[in-house]
Amino acid sequence: MANSFQDITKPVDLLQHAAGTGHLRSQRPLYMDFMPPCNSACPAGENIQAWLSLAQAGDFFGAFQKIVEDNPFPAIMGRVCVKPCETGCNRNHVDETINIHAIERYIGDKAIAESWAIQYPPAASGKRVMIVGAGPGGLSAAYHLTRMGHQVEIYEASAEPGGLMEAGIPEYRLPKEILRAEIKRILDMGVRLHVNFKVQDLLSVKEAGHFDAVYLAIGAYAGKLPGYDGKPTVPVLQAVDFLKQFKSNTLPRLGQRVMIYGGGKLAMYLSRVVKRMGLLPTVLYPGDRKLMPAYDFEADDAIAEGVEVNFLRSIQRAEGNQFTVQVMEMQKGKPVPTGEEMVLEADVLILALGQEVDSTLYSQLEGVQTKPDGGIVINAERMSGYAGIFAGGDMLPGEQRSTTIAIGNGKKAARYMDAWLRQETYQKPAKPLTAGYKRLHMWFKTDAPQQEQTRLAPQIAVRSFDEVVAGIDEKEALYEAKRCLSCGNCFECDGCFGACPEDAIIKLGKGKRYQFNYDACTGCGICYEQCPCHAIEMIPEPVNSSSHGQ
């Protein structure tokens, strides 16, 4: 039922082409499958519309299986993803986006509660793959490679798998039991995990393990250093180190006043953790709110919980427990010094100025190129300059760093690695045109406001590390799923069938959609205008075409 986009040129403007009859048509309708904007925006490449369709029918098990074809972490991503799919959702033009992440979280939590296993055809390629790093990217690659039939072993330097999901995301946003449950599901598929194993000599470990390929998924743990003068006498900690020590109960004794230098999501996480510790966090960021790397909702949540966030403040000097701070101002979109200074006192300074990758492991390998920030250069097949060594996630220079992107990188790399291991070439499928809102012809009533998730009041949230944002129940998940407009793909609403004045549309049965009888079709375009989801396109009448049906 889906047609190749190579068979058509450009959509026809109905106002510029007069309708004909039979052989005299200047245009004809064609059923098409377009790309929904939610799918297009997802860095993990989920087929969101497909699993929403299953969810709205109450088939949550089927929806789970559809999600994990692309992403093995629905319960995690339903909590921590920054939701680009919802930003792209066409429902935003009607009322509010579909609460996609909340439905995914519900499905993921249900899968954990009911111990759903992942269904995939068993296979055995006889190939072995080594993965360095058990963060979201490494785990994702391991998962997809296992589904493809390869034996996978992961080497992780820390005591726990999860990477920055485990070390960098506090439990008020991602509970430990959820993280462990979804990682366990991957390990139960046969992936072997080595913890407390820091790979020092990549090629030696590869040779000793008889691995045919390697995927590097090393997280960005190395914190950037500030450029201030002097040396403070109070503790100075990097953001990731602070969170690691906090989770392992190995933090040094801290005073009350905690200064956090940076404006990314780690800085916001830190400030909210410090607040829950009963201390007094103050965030300093050299830029203004627009330049802040953290998403607006992350800063809003921190401020609502009582965190003091000071924009346009840059540390210049440090002496003892005193920090001389330069007041900045915005000029032509950039922060510049005003000459005004202030002195602030703190009992500890936490640096959250961004992370870099330690390239020691791979920078000396023949053919491997690296960037100044430690990032590794890969080719179009996701492979480094050393044959058989692939990389992704935080290691890629210029790549925006997020859990979702790392998961997507792991899946992409797995596809290219699978092809390479089989001595084949992976052909990336063509991406269909996206069904934007202006392409929809919505003739039905759609008023259905979003079912919002409940959340703890800020004054309650800061008292514990309980989840701040609650999940939704089955009734709410069904309601939200049914708000989907099925952009770009036929959902058998019968709009075209009922509107055709020539009875030129044939119903093929539930789940099989429709077919045009071109002997009867006049090319009037009424079916096109009545299709609410833009699953019909009007194309030029083919030269020397027959009018027989599809």
**Among 154-158, 423-427, 428-432, whose mean pLDDT is lowest?**
428-432
**Among 17-31, 216-230, 530-544, whose mean pLDDT is lowest?**
17-31
- Kindly state the percentage of the chain with pLDDT values over 90: 79
pLDDT value of position 387: 96
pLDDT value of position 285: 96
The yes-or-no verdict on residue 229 having pLDDT over 50 is yes
The yes-or-no verdict on residue 3 having pLDDT over 60 is no
Residues 311-368 have pLDDT tens digits of 999 999 999 999 999 999 999 999 999 999 999 999 999 999 988 888 899 998 999 9
Q: Report the predicted TM-score, pTM, of the whole model to 2 decimal places.
A: 0.90
| The two three-digit tokens of residue 244, written as one number | 């690691």
Per the prediction, the chain carries an average pLDDT of 91
The yes-or-no verdict on residue 7 having pLDDT over 80 is no
The yes-or-no verdict on residue 122 having pLDDT over 90 is no
CA–CA gap between residue 290 and residue 383 (Å, rounded): 36
pLDDT value of position 424: 95
In terms of phi and psi (left: phi > 0; alpha: psi -120 to 50; beta: otherwise), the region of 149 is left
At 271, is the pLDDT very low, low, confident or very high (cuts 50, 70, 90)?
very high
Q: Which residues of 373-387 are buried (b: 16+ CB within 10 A; e: fewer)?
A: bbbbebeeebbbbbe
Within 10 Å of residue 476's Cβ, how many Cβ atoms? 17
At 398, is the pLDDT very low, low, confident or very high (cuts 50, 70, 90)?
low
Mean local confidence (pLDDT), 79-97: 94
pLDDT value of position 447: 76
pLDDT value of position 13: 41
The yes-or-no verdict on residue 19 having pLDDT over 50 is no
Task: Report the C-alpha dihedral over residues 276, 279, 280, 281, rounded to 10 degrees.
Answer: -60
**Complete domains list, the chain, with CATH:** 5-33+490-540 (3.30.70.20), 37-118+431-482 (1.10.1060), 128-221+357-421 (3.50.50.60), 257-354 (3.50.50.60)
